[in-house]
Copies of this chain bind each other. A is one copy, B any other.
């Protein structure tokens, strides 16, 4: 986190039913709209990215056998959105793609053609568990050209403020992200951008079995520059400042820096003889398989304890069992070329120490 953001969230709490808070909240909302590239509302929910995505899922389609959702998964998070519709008894067509690969516009178009009653499509732009990004613009176009009423709900949790993304221009109906990745804040806030078709749909669907996740409640408050429940005031102040910092750099520069760090990382890891986990790598993070003989826990502990560097391990899901087999490095948010070089040097040192022959 940038120091000024941490200092901002440590300011004394202001009450949320005051004009001071409403001004901060309105400023945050406008910055989120510019970041998402939308003229529609961007709602700020308390919770994790999962809270925000579930709210979008359950608010835009009612339970039952019809209409159905098309749920695209190529990693742990796409699978979670499938789990949510299963828990909520929304009938779904699952489009499962091999972990490390990405879904294509052709696959989505075909699934929509075969299932004309699809009402909602869930898609992950940058699948964090596999460090893989899809061609969101083409997929969005395929959904729009399908001609039916299907809404596209996009998980942008590791893509918003990291990868080029234009919500309105690309015709994305719902875009969800969280505070703790490229938005440079601690965890605790989730965001839901709503295009005009999604706002229209909200008025038609009667969500079933939810109250605080019902986006109609959040939208109504938002239109009044307000929130329906006591919000994490300090995190909201911090998020406003973090977005001001992003805007002062220029979002295009942030995207370019992220891409450069990713490019450098992929090159260095491959020159160490490692295999990337993705055939369509996201620029927001990079993952590689461990060479044989390297223990995940010991390796990451050495990086943390000897080099003060934190990287992520792998995750298990239905489509992959990557726990202990891979590691992942983030390029999002408050991280620069020096940080990344230091991480790569440390990785090289510890791989060598673990007996892997470099180069």
By a CB distance below 8 angstroms, the chain B residues around A317 are: none
Contact residue among B18, B50, B186, B231 (Cβ-Cβ distance under 8 Å from A212)? B50
Q: Mark A53-69, 1 if CB is under 8 A from B, else 0.
A: 01000100001000000
Q: Considering the chains assembled together, what is the distance between the CA atoms of A310 and B233 in angstroms?
A: 15
Within 8 A of B (CB), among A225-239: 229-235
A49 to chain B, nearest CB (A): 7
Can you add 4 more A-B contacts, CB < 8 Å, to A18-B310, A47-B51?
A10-B10, A84-B212, A87-B214, A232-B232
Q: Considering the chains assembled together, what is the distance between the CA atoms of A17 and B253 in angstroms?
A: 31
**A208 (CB) vs chain B CBs: closest residue:** B209
By a CB distance below 8 angstroms, the chain B residues around A180 are: 13, 230
By a CB distance below 8 angstroms, the chain B residues around A13 are: 1, 180, 186-187
Interface of A is mostly: loop
Contact residue among B17, B47, B210, B234 (Cβ-Cβ distance under 8 Å from A9)? B234
Interface residues on A, range: 35 or more
By a CB distance below 8 angstroms, the chain B residues around A210 are: 87-88, 209-210, 213
By a CB distance below 8 angstroms, the chain B residues around A83 are: 211
Within 8 A of B (CB), among A200-250: 207-214, 229-235
Q: Identify the interface centre among A88, A231, A234: most chain B CB within 10 Å of its CB.
A: A234
- Which residues of A approach B to under 8 Å, CB–CB? 1, 6-7, 9-13, 15-18, 46-51, 54, 58, 63, 83-84, 87-89, 178, 180, 186-188, 207-214, 229-235, 304, 310, 312-313
Q: Identify the interface centre among A1, A7, A178, A209: most chain B CB within 10 Å of its CB.
A: A209
**A90 (CB) vs chain B CBs: closest residue:** B209
Residue pair B84, A232 in contact (C-beta under 8 Å):
no
A209-B208, A211-B84 known; A48+B230 contact, CB < 8 A: yes
